[in-house]
Amino acid sequence: MLKWTIIFVLLAILAAMYGFGGLAEGAADIAKVLCFVFVGMVIGSLFSNFKQA
């Protein structure tokens, strides 16, 4: 489960770099949404990991 948490964190950072950096206007909106989705997945993964321990 920790492996998925690390993957989600990396995806959230990547989406944030592209979305908040203003690289491209069209992709920025999609990247911002993906960033928040992946941050939510990180939080969900952390909570499920603590629940199992």
Q: How far apart are CA 11 and CA 32, in angstroms?
A: 12
pTM exceeding 0.85 = no
Measured in whole angstroms, how far is the alpha carbon of residue 6 from the centre of its chain? Answer: 10
CA dihedral sign, ordered 40, 45, 46, 47: positive
Tens-place pLDDT, residues 1-53: 678 778 888 887 887 776 666 556 666 677 778 888 888 888 888 888 776 65
Locate all alpha helices (DSSP H) within 1-53, ordered by sequence.
2-20, 25-52
25, 22, 29, 38 alpha-carbon torsion, rounded to 10°: 150
